[in-house]
Structure 1
């Protein structure tokens, strides 16, 4: 009886250690399944079954790899950027699968909105791999459908790409309209629109990001020509805003617009979350254009001096 009591005390002592070990692996290797975690811990001297691992996972809301990845992202200031490319892909696929499941489970008789799910998946792959490197099979695999099912909603990959842009520009124009509401100062109006753009291409959805990047796309002239009308409608917003600015006589407003859009479209390349906010970056860009960077009182050298 004495040995049994000692064994019970030892089990009670080790239980918190087992739980901590399971949670540690959930953080360090979130892709491991319950059987693999059980085997790993048994090698380390912990007596835990696969069902015991799952019990601990469920206790902490970590019973799927997607939930474990979300927990990691939420626990760091870097967010999803803290995950590896493979882990981000798994997280994206899990989110899309959840959309399909929830849509299929609807009880109101409405068909699932698979078209939107496909659009989201296509935008993610276009952003990650580029248009040319993404196939219909890739998109179908991302959402758990057969390739032929994609053609039920979109006639071709090109049509999917154009549909992503139509949706993206629709969202962008709506966000711009909201941002401009109530603003009358021309510099404030320009700043607000730039803030919308920078936020969309750095931290928006994949549809937002692909749409923003298209303003500088040069790799596929034929496809770019089909996007051009949507692009022009959006750039017309900037034309109007810059036309309203009180600029110095002789200022080239067209060049100013192109320079500003170039600045904005490159932010996604170097932006890192945690330093300046996207609003601060956009405001600083507009302020630099407005006031310049030369120190007051320093006269410019004549060209003949160089």
Structure 2
């Protein structure tokens, strides 16, 4: 098979390969189509598949691999990456880990090789519609209209509505886990850590983006058992955070920690059904819920 990145001049080919690898370092988050377009603007004759050929030759064919390589080359490691690059790398690593849990494939390309801006626009529009209308009453045509695309353009990024729904939930779970883990680090004791985690959880459901809202919805309600089974690895990873936090609480021996976790998550997840703007914020509600669990709701005994 011919090398799709080869030019008629060997020196030109070496220069082109050098520029492709330079883009992998300077702009690791860009996909092959975007890099090919920039190179063509510089006067090189190259296709997206030609860019991918060179990247694959150097084991750099996904954005996650390029970010990992960039971090490994720097003495500062991941800290050498920009904040957005660190978030992309964290999301990609976690997504790959969860995908391996849910299937036998090892795939780094889940969120990395499509043009990120358009892909994210589709995910955001889908999350909005799924959170308002539900999975069954939302169509690909509706989602495409929401971002000014033809349905075929959406199918180019996501082969089915189910895959798009899973991408929305995956994005929500990964983002919420990252936010909760960061919040918990500021806690000084087990109860404060739990409260901080609950604040982020409820904030995500009532005060945040549609992606986070749909994540909360899914944890509370869904009548699509097949989809629930595919989402299960992500839900388990998410709930494990609360399992660890509750296991660390200083409680009486009679407390059933598993039931406590289910009780707390169930109460928080149900908020999206009754919450109305204008009252307490999501974080205030979470504080009160944890305080009621910790201190009880009965009258204090007489001293």
Instruction: Please indicate the TM-score interval, normalised by the length of the shorter structure.
Output: 0.5 to 0.7
- Residue 158 of structure 1 is aligned with which of 137, 157, 162? 162
2:138 is aligned to 134
Q: CA deviation at 1:178?
A: 1.2
Q: CA deviation at 1:172?
A: 0.4
2:100 is aligned to none
**Separation in structure 1 between the aligned mates of residue 193 and residue 160 of structure 2, nearest angstrom:** 39
1:276 is aligned to 280
Structure 1: state its 5+ residue gaps: 1-103, 299-306
Does the 8 Å contact 2:207/2:281 carry over to 1?
A: no
Does the 8 Å contact 1:217/1:224 carry over to 2?
A: no
Give the match's secondary structure for 1:296.
Answer: coil
- The equivalences for 1:248-287 within 5 A come to 248-287=252-291
2:152 is aligned to 148
Aligned Cα root-mean-square deviation (Å): 2.0
Moved over 3 A (4+): 107-112
**Separation in structure 2 between the aligned mates of residue 218 and residue 125 of structure 1, nearest angstrom:** 15
2:241 is aligned to 237
Provide TM-score, normalisation by structure 2: 0.61
Greater RCO (CA < 8 Å, at least 6 residues apart): 2
Q: How many pairs were matched up? A: 193
1:297 is aligned to 301
1:7 is aligned to none
Q: CA deviation at 1:112?
A: 7.0
2:217 is aligned to 213
1:89 is aligned to none
Q: CA deviation at 1:274?
A: 2.7
Structure 2: state its 5+ residue gaps: 1-33, 42-113
**Separation in structure 1 between the aligned mates of residue 116 and residue 243 of structure 2, nearest angstrom:** 40
1:20 is aligned to none
Query: Structure 1 residue 189 and structure 2 residue 193: aligned?
Result: yes
**Separation in structure 2 between the aligned mates of residue 218 and residue 168 of structure 1, nearest angstrom:** 16
**Separation in structure 2 between the aligned mates of residue 185 and residue 297 of structure 1, nearest angstrom:** 26
**Separation in structure 2 between the aligned mates of residue 167 and residue 296 of structure 1, nearest angstrom:** 44
Does the 8 Å contact 1:180/1:193 carry over to 2?
A: yes
Larger radius of gyration: 1
2:175 is aligned to 171
- The equivalences for 1:33-112 within 5 A come to none
